[in-house]
Amino acid sequence: MINIRKLIYPWRYLFLSLCCLLLITACNTLAPNTQSDNKSLKVATDPTFIPFEFQTPQGELVGFEIDLMRAIAQAVGLTVNFESLPFDGMISTLQAKRVDAAISGITITKERLKTIAFSRPYFKAGLAITVREDNQDIKDFNSLQEKKIGVQIGSTGADFAKTIPNAKIITYNSGPDFFQDLHNGNIDAVISDAFATLYAVKNGNLKGLKVVADLLTEEYYGIATPQNSPHLDAINKGIDIVLSNGTYKQIYQKWFNVEPSQLPVELPLK
Ligand code: GLN
């Protein structure tokens, strides 16, 4: 009979070392999460902003910004985990660092830059007035005076509405709700992001409504992050890459069917 103890004894140190090596390798293969977590960004979005981000009837998250965020991340070797959040809670969630970034048609403003950071602009946007198709008297800023105006809480549209003399402002939690109220005649006009509204009108999702041609503002969307984010440089690099290699243009045309606008590298806001 072979005595295993006696056999191993002279090689005991080598045997122990081999066991240690095996253990270390096993740990590394079984726990790759610590490494991949650094490579994945947790990104907040409010999927009620068609066609920037919305859910298909099957529950799949799709849209211009979903494609764009994935492409930006991929360009710098990162992946994205989206988390749905109401638009109004986006900034406080970033401040609390509960997510790495947010993409949700968020306009870069001086006020917001006091509490969060933004990437370079990735979309040229602006506010527009929407009214019922038969409305003839609301055509510009001045004709909004003393009118009942619907806006989304916490949006640049809500800030803008405050500057209209004697307007009665009605706030809504979610974008699509104010269009329903406008359609029903409960409010006279909506002030919201032009591109999303134009898209909905064009695709027949907002029947009986029209967008007043002249935009009220010029705005730019940026990807928002907490201040001093370790990811902001990579995100900006990713935007540079997708802008210069044609990916941005391709995604823009897929969703909007037109050539993208020129984008500044930085806004004169700080
Ligand atoms: N661009 C607007 C803002 O930043 C609103 C965008 C949206 O409703 N998702 O306030």
The better pLDDT of the pair 29, 135 is held by 135
The preferred substitution site among 54, 69, 107, 223 for testing ligand 1, maximizing ligand atoms within 8 Å of CB, is 107
Q: Which tokens go with 205?
A: 């999702």
Indicate whether 228 pLDDT > 60.
yes
User: Quick one: angle between helices 232-244 and 64-75, nearest 10?
Assistant: 100
Question: Does 138 score more than 90 pLDDT?
Answer: yes
Nearest atom of ligand 1 to the alpha carbon of 109: 4
Q: Which atom of ligand 1 is nearest to the CA of 107?
A: 4
150 within 8 A of 178, measured Cβ to Cβ: yes
Question: pLDDT tens digit string along 96-136?
Answer: 999 999 999 999 999 999 999 999 999 999 999 999 999 99
pLDDT, average across residues 166-177:
91
pLDDT of residue 27: 43
104 CA to centre of ligand 1 in angstroms? 7
pLDDT class of 208 with cuts at 50, 70, 90: very high
pLDDT tier for residue 3 given thresholds of 50, 70 and 90: low
Does the structure show a pLDDT above 90 at 213?
A: no
Number of the ligand 1 atom closest to the C-alpha atom of 219: 1
* CA 107–ligand 1 middle distance (angstroms): 6
CATH 3.30.420.40 fits 36-124+219-256, yes or no: no
| 116: number of Cβ within 10 Å | 22
Taking the C-alpha atoms of residue 211 and residue 264, their distance in angstroms, rounded to an integer, is 26
**What are the pocket residues of ligand 1 if the criterion is a CB atom closer than 6 Å to any ligand atom?**
46, 49, 87, 104-107, 152, 155-156, 175, 193
Average pLDDT of span 48-53: 95
Q: What is the pLDDT of residue 215?
A: 94
What percent of the chain shows pLDDT beyond 70?
86
Q: Which amino acid residue places its CA nearest to atom 6 of ligand 1?
A: 105
The C-alpha atoms of residue 244 and residue 117 are separated, in whole angstroms, by: 23
CATH fold for the domain made of 127-212? D-Maltodextrin-Binding Protein; domain 2 (3.40.190)
Q: Which amino acid is at 139?
A: K
151 neighbors 159 (Cβ within 8 angstroms) = no
Nearest-CA residue for atom 7 of ligand 1: 105
Cα of 9 vs centre of ligand 1, distance in Å, is 72
User: Residue ranges of the domains in the chain?
Assistant: 36-124+219-256, 127-212
**Nearest partner of 54 among 210, 205, 262, 215, judged by Cα:** 205
Could you tell me whether strands 101-102 and 40-45 are parallel, antiparallel, or unpaired per DSSP bridges? parallel
> Does 7 score more than 60 pLDDT?
no
Residue 106 CA to ligand 1 centre (angstroms): 5
User: Edge-to-edge strands of the sheet including 61-62?
Assistant: 48-49, 53-55, 61-62
d(CA 50, CA 62): 9
| pLDDT exceeds cutoff 60 at 65 | yes
Q: What separation in Å is there between the alpha carbon of 216 and the centre of ligand 1?
A: 14
**Mean pLDDT for the stretch of residues 158-170:** 97
